[in-house]
């Protein structure tokens, strides 16, 4: 991997000059920067240490009006290089940049007191002590504080040695060689004639190979890595660190600074983000002290990765929770979607006057809506924050599931929190038991009916998306069948102890009477006839299921034998000449209602086909006896 170091410090304190002296590269790439001698946008340089270890540098502007650009560079670094001029000492942006680095959780780096050739040694020692004191309440407490001169070269060897020790520490640190997926937050995007779109950024998570497919977030499209460059040279595989990617599948207009190219499914497009906020630890520069935690409805600017966007801080109701470690939970409602993943660090700044409001970490980029919000308790939020802190994917997935109650993976496989699953299982078993009581002669509860009941029970407990209705209930049913609590037979579900009683002799007799009553060419209304002969709706269903009657409409049915005879007559007549409803009505001695119902049913089944002249044999018509092979 290549370690990425970001500069920080007040304007004109020599950040770019120090990098030029260390690397021989002028990070001020814009003509305006070179003309004015001041960094305006993020710049880049690189250095190979004596042992061959590569270092990437991100140079940031120090002017107070360019803090947003500073955060673009600081948002994706491994360590910080704080620069303080010996003649000026710590100034306003020294303190603000420290607060920003602290908010981003940067805990590795070093500080350099520059321009040491311009002041007496006593002043150098004084400023060195001031810088060490400033670092003490921050995450950078205890890092080396060195003095150097970019003009004379004095102290630069010590700076290089300290950078080498820093690179070794980062390379051997936790997560340096751990599993991950490629992710690059875009800080520059431009078009190259003949090659198309090129984006640059700091590659994280995993190495990247030419030809790989990546997602562009928050846009959502899939792109392909056409070519990779590191330090100006083409490579087939890019290590972690500063990388340029020639992208196929997107245009320059599709990619803005702050977008993320990734193979990580946890990087999501989010317009609402559940976060944990850290209290700023760096003293303000004479501004009014900040209240803590930020109040509900406060407006801020969110800086996340290389992106920044307006945010509204939600600290009402369940979003006003305090975690066990003292951090405050908030819901950030964003002006537009950003790319975010659990564990991402960010900074919130007040829009006016500009100052650090809080740092923090993303807990959930797509927090629950609706009824699942009731599950947002301090205990569950603290468990999620602890899991996010470990970075373990399985722990985070379990904690998020417990918080939301239900989740669907990329493969649409549904998971339910243990308490939600247990409650749904109880509801499902009760539904099947009640069905057995209400329908004692039935083989079991129809599967669609149980799905519907479980869906209602689940939606009272958790928020399910519009397309998740079948998935979550089916999970409950599948698990019940797996452990033997339910038995499935066809589309029916029953409890293991349920056995429907044998046929009721009275019902069997009523079914026989109904079948006989429907035997004519023009049978009487089904419902009235069933009531007259004492046949229940269950008996009607059993007759139809057994193939003893044919029901064409809600109140129109024939005995199966009678219907077969009528259908055979229609087919014989259609073979002779096109069969009209009137001719069929007259031949069967029925009415238009009966003849149309039979002809339409035969048409739906493909036995007859309707033409302008009448019905003729259809594609599924069986041959008449004695006519096979004669067309």
Same domain, 393 and 443: no
Tokens read off for 418: 């243990």
Residue at token pair 């740092």: 359
More confident residue, 501 or 349: 349
pLDDT tens for 274-284 read 999 988 776 44
Same domain, 151 and 208: no
Check if the beta carbon of residue 293 is closer than 8 Å to that of residue 112. Answer: no
Residue 95: pLDDT above 60? yes
Question: Can you give the CATH number for the domain in which 18 is found?
Answer: 3.40.50.300
Same domain, 7 and 148: yes
What confidence tier does 592 reach under pLDDT thresholds 50, 70, 90? very high
Same domain, 430 and 573: no
Residue 629 lies in a domain: no
- Segment 424-443 mean pLDDT: 91
- Segment 306-312 mean pLDDT: 92
Same domain, 321 and 215: no
- Segment 72-89 mean pLDDT: 84
Q: Which region among 68-77, 264-273, 561-570 has the lowest average model confidence (pLDDT)?
A: 68-77
At 630, phi and psi to the nearest 5? -105, 10
Who's near 172: CB < 8 A, 6+ residues apart?
Answer: none
- Segment 367-392 mean pLDDT: 92
What confidence tier does 173 reach under pLDDT thresholds 50, 70, 90? low
Same domain, 42 and 189: no
Predicted TM-score of the model (pTM): 0.75
Same domain, 67 and 163: yes
Same domain, 99 and 37: yes
DSSP secondary structure string for all residues of 540-574? HHHHHHTTSEEEEETTEEEEHHHHHHHHHHHHHHH
What confidence tier does 413 reach under pLDDT thresholds 50, 70, 90? confident
What confidence tier does 611 reach under pLDDT thresholds 50, 70, 90? very high
- Segment 242-246 mean pLDDT: 91
Residue 118 lies in a domain: yes
What confidence tier does 127 reach under pLDDT thresholds 50, 70, 90? very high
Q: Where are the beta strands (DSSP E) in 122-164?
A: 145-147
Residue 42: pLDDT above 70? no
Residue 50 lies in a domain: yes
Which of 470, 494, 518 is a domain's end point?
494
Cα separation, 378 vs 186, in Å, equals 35
Residue 146 lies in a domain: yes
* pLDDT value, residue 628: 44
What confidence tier does 195 reach under pLDDT thresholds 50, 70, 90? confident
What confidence tier does 40 reach under pLDDT thresholds 50, 70, 90? very low
Average pLDDT, the chain: 87
* pLDDT value, residue 286: 42
First to last CA, the chain: 78
| Pair type for strands 183-192 and 299-304 | unpaired
Expressed in percent and rounded to 5, the helix, strand and coil fractions of the chain are 35, 25, 35
Residue 625 lies in a domain: no
CA distances from 420 to 24, 307, 321, 407, 412 (A): 61, 37, 23, 12, 18
Question: Can you give the CATH number for the domain in which 374 is found?
Answer: 2.40.30.10
Alpha carbon dihedral 123, 128, 134, 136, in 10-degree steps, equals -150
Same domain, 119 and 75: yes
pLDDT tens for 447-467 read 999 999 999 999 999 988 655
Which of 208, 243, 262 is a domain's end point?
262
Percent of the chain exceeding pLDDT 90 equals 58
Residue 303: pLDDT above 60? yes
Residue 499 lies in a domain: no
Residue 630 lies in a domain: no
Question: Can you give the CATH number for the domain in which 528 is found?
Answer: 1.10.10.10
- Cα angle: 193, vertex 197, 201; to 5 degrees: 125
Which of 207, 231, 262 is a domain's end point?
262
What confidence tier does 6 reach under pLDDT thresholds 50, 70, 90? confident
Same domain, 130 and 153: yes
At 622, phi and psi to the nearest 5? -75, 150
Residue 226 sits in which domain range?
Answer: 183-262
- Segment 165-185 mean pLDDT: 76
At 82, phi and psi to the nearest 5? -85, 130
Same domain, 384 and 428: no
- Segment 245-261 mean pLDDT: 92
pLDDT tens for 355-377 read 788 899 999 998 988 899 999 99
Cα separation, 499 vs 492, in Å, equals 13
Buried b (16+ CB within 10 A) or exposed e, 139-154: bbeebbbbbbbbeeee
Residue 631 lies in a domain: no
Q: For the chain, what is the domain count?
A: 5
pLDDT tens for 581-590 read 999 999 999 9
Tokens read off for 43: 């710049």
Query: Where is 463: in which H helix or E strand?
Result: none
Same domain, 465 and 356: no
> How many Cα neighbours within 13 Å face the side chain of 137?
12
């Amino acid at each position: 991997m290549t370690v990425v170091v970001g500069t920080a410090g007040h304007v004109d304190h020599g950040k770019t000059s120090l990098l030029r002296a260390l690397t021989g590269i002028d990070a001020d790439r814009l003509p305006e920067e070179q003309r004015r001698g001041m960094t305006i946008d993020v710049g880049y340089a690189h250095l190979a240490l004596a042992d061959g270890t590569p270092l990437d540098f991100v140079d940031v502007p120090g002017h107070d009006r360019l803090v947003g650009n500073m955060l673009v560079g600081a948002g994706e670094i491994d360590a910080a290089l704080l620069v303080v001029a010996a003649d000026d000492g710590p100034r306003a942006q020294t303190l603000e940049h420290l607060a920003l680095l602290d908010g981003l959780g940067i805990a590795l780096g070093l500080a350099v007191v520059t321009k040491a050739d311009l002041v007496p040694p006593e002043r150098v020692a004084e400023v060195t002590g001031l810088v060490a004191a400033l670092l003490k309440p921050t995450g950078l407490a205890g890092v080396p504080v060195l003095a150097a001169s970019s003009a004379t070269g004095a102290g630069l060897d010590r700076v290089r040695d300290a950078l080498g020790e820093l690179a070794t520490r980062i390379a051997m640190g936790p997560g340096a060689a751990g599993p991950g997926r490629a992710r690059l937050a875009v800080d520059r995007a431009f078009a190259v004639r003949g090659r198309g779109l090129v984006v640059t950024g700091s590659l994280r998570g995993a190495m990247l190979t030419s030809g790989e497919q990546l997602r562009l977030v928050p846009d959502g499209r899939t792109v392909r890595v056409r070519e990779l460059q590191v330090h100006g040279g083409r490579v087939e595989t890019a290590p972690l660190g500063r990388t340029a990617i020639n992208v196929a599948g997107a245009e320059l207009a599709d990619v803005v600074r702050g977008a993320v190219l990734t193979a990580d499914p946890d990087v999501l497009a989010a317009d609402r983000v559940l976060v944990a906020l850290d209290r700023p630890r760096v003293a303000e520069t004479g501004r009014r002290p900040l209240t803590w935690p930020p109040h509900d409805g406060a407006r801020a600017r969110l800086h996340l990765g290389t992106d920044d966007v307006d945010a509204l801080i939600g600290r009402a109701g369940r979003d006003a929770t305090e975690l066990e470690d003292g951090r405050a939970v908030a819901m950030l409602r964003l002006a537009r979607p950003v790319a975010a993943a659990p564990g991402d660090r960010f900074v919130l700044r007040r829009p006016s006057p500009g100052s650090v409001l809080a740092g923090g970490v993303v807990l959930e980029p797509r927090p629950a809506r609706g009824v699942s919000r009731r599950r947002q308790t301090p205990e569950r939020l603290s468990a999620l924050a602890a899991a996010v802190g470990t970075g373990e994917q399985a722990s985070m997935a379990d904690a998020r599931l417990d918080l939301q109650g239900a989740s669907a993976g990329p493969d649409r496989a549904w998971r339910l929190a243990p308490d939600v699953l247990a409650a749904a299982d109880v509801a499902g078993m009760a539904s099947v038991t009640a069905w057995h009581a209400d329908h004692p002669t039935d083989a079991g509860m129809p599967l669609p009916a149980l799905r519907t009941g479980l869906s209602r029970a689940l939606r009272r407990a958790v928020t399910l998306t519009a397309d998740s209705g079948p998935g979550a209930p089916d999970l409950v049913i599948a698990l019940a069948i797996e452990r033997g609590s339910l038995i499935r037979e066809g589309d029916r579900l029953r409890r293991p102890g349920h056995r429907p009683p044998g046929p009721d002799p009275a019902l069997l007799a009523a079914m026989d009477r109904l079948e006989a009553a429907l035997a004519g060419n023009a049978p009487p209304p089904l419902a009235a006839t069933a009531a007259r002969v004492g046949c229940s709706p269950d008996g009607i269903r059993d007759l139809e299921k057994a193939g003893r009657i044919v029901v064409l409409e809600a109140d129109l049915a024939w005995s199966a034998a009678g219907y077969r005879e009528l259908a055979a007559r229609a087919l014989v007549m259609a073979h002779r000449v096109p069969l009209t409803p009137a001719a069929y009505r007259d031949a069967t001695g029925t009415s238009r209602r009966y003849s149309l119902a039979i002809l339409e049913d035969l048409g739906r089944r493909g036995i007859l086909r309707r033409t302008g002249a009448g019905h003729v044999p259809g594609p599924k018509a069986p041959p008449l006896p004695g006519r096979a092979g004669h067309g």
